[in-house]
Amino acid sequence: MKGTDSQPEIVEGCRLPVLLRNGDGWHMAEILGKKDLKGKNLYYIHYEDFNKRLDEWVTEERMDIAKLVQPSKEAKTPKKEGVKSGTESRPSSPEREVVSTPNGSAAPTTGNKKFSSSSRKRKGADDSEIDPLATPTSSRNNTPTLGLQQQNNVALNEDGSKKPRQTGSMVAHHDDIVTRMKNVEMIELGKYRIRPWYFSPYPQELTSLSIVYICEFCLKYVKSKKCLERHIQKCLLRYPPGNEIYRKGNISFFEIDGRKNKAYAQNLCLLAKLFLDHKTLYYDTDPFLFYVMCEQDCKGYHIVGYFSKEKESTEDYNVACILTLPPFQKKGFGKLLIEFSYELSKCEGKTGSPEKPLSDLGLLSYRSYWSQTILEILITMTPSEGNDRPVITINDISEMTSIKKEDVISTLQHLNLINYYKGQYIITLSHEQIDTQNKAMEKRKVRIDPKCLHWQPKDWSKRGKW
């Protein structure tokens, strides 16, 4: 649109107030893109201080053009990176557990304003979050693949040997326009149709479709319902292609080796990227294990969520990336995934922690789990012999839960439980905190039963090449 005397030109990088989808007032937004739909201009906008999952296409009717602010020359909106066939340039970046409307789409609510400030992401190296994903390169058939440019990204020691990774993410933040815009409108996964929240580098020919169809068992993506029906007739999988290491009731966990099952691991990463922000797809799945949680019925094992972890982590991270799919959120499955990751750490005889930094909502999920787990121990403690009060140390709590000491301390501080009294630190619990904890634990109907876990940790350092 060319600017006129009555209306200024609306270009990428412009800022102006936009009416929120639910009609709850106006909020400042940035123009990221523009398209013409049947002669009508649509603008892709990002609400400032809101999570990017709320970004959307809007018409001029919802924009206060009179208050349009042109982009400053000093801070231009990042230019579009070159897009090769079948490959979107590097996706910009969790965790994570995000609020969804019943139909799987996200909508701004008044409640979002409460955490909007923490939705702002720090630029630079600290933008890496908990995800093993990186940019896939393009193959000849325009299908995203991972692992073609590994040598260009590997850090080497002076003697030429490969340096160990410091984190499981290897995430670089590339905040270009292409990857700031959602490119998939809708996916169909099993009986659910879900509106994605973020960019994911699916093949370009799929991103122009109204729906991308995904097989819920092997996670292969196809372009039409008919293609999916034909694929399902041939697909041999009815569960993830790994070892079932846990089953209780209708809940199962499968361990998938990223080296042995590359296609599944890569498809899982692409699916997860639709709901995980501020991360890039990692080029190689070989160094990772994927733990997929499923619900079982007569038709097979249906994916609910997953987490990944490095086979060898120099920082003792027990989770690299974690996600509960939108249809299963707010049902306790997120805590179940976290609880399972710590059960694996207990089997390994280690304390663990999720890869840092966590996203705003990822931190809420973990802090909730840490709080409930630690309070559960404190409340059930009995006075020690010769003492009228229970005695416990930070190390004791860490060993009992496999939660790292630093996370135990930060949780106790967050709950305001540590007090200095007569030359020593004591933990004090109020009746209100105990009541809140008891109510929270009553809601956790499903818990991990260690007796149902059949798993032996492997020493990957002795296995040479994965």
Separation of CA 396 from chain center: 31
Q: Give the burial string for 254-268 (b: 16+ CB within 10 Å, else e).
A: bbbbbbebbebbbbb
Decide: 112 and 54 in contact? Cβ < 8 Å.
yes
Q: Apex CA 265: angle with CA 260 and CA 266, to 5°?
A: 120
In this structure, which amino acid lies at residue 41?
N
What span, in angstroms and rounded, lies between the C-alpha atoms of 47 and 361? 18
Task: Characterise 142 by phi-psi region: left (phi > 0), alpha (psi -120 to 50), beta (else).
Answer: left
Distances from the Cα of 21 to the Cα of 41, 56, 63, 106, 194, angstroms: 17, 9, 11, 10, 18
Distances from the Cα of 273 to the Cα of 118, 196, 371, angstroms: 20, 9, 28
Query: Which segments within 77-120 are labelled E, that is strand?
Result: none
What span, in angstroms and rounded, lies between the C-alpha atoms of 75 and 317? 37
According to DSSP, residue 138 is labeled E
Three-state SS at 275? coil
Give the residue numbers marked as catalytic: 355
Q: Give the burial string for 198-229 (b: 16+ CB within 10 Å, else e).
A: bbbbbbbebbeeebbbbbbbbbbbbeeeeebe
Q: Apex CA 318: angle with CA 90 and CA 104, to 5°?
A: 55
What length is written for the chain?
A: 466
What span, in angstroms and rounded, lies between the C-alpha atoms of 223 and 214? 9
Locate 250 and state its tokens: 């209708």
What span, in angstroms and rounded, lies between the C-alpha atoms of 171 and 127? 8
What span, in angstroms and rounded, lies between the C-alpha atoms of 250 and 408? 32
In this structure, which amino acid lies at residue 59?
T
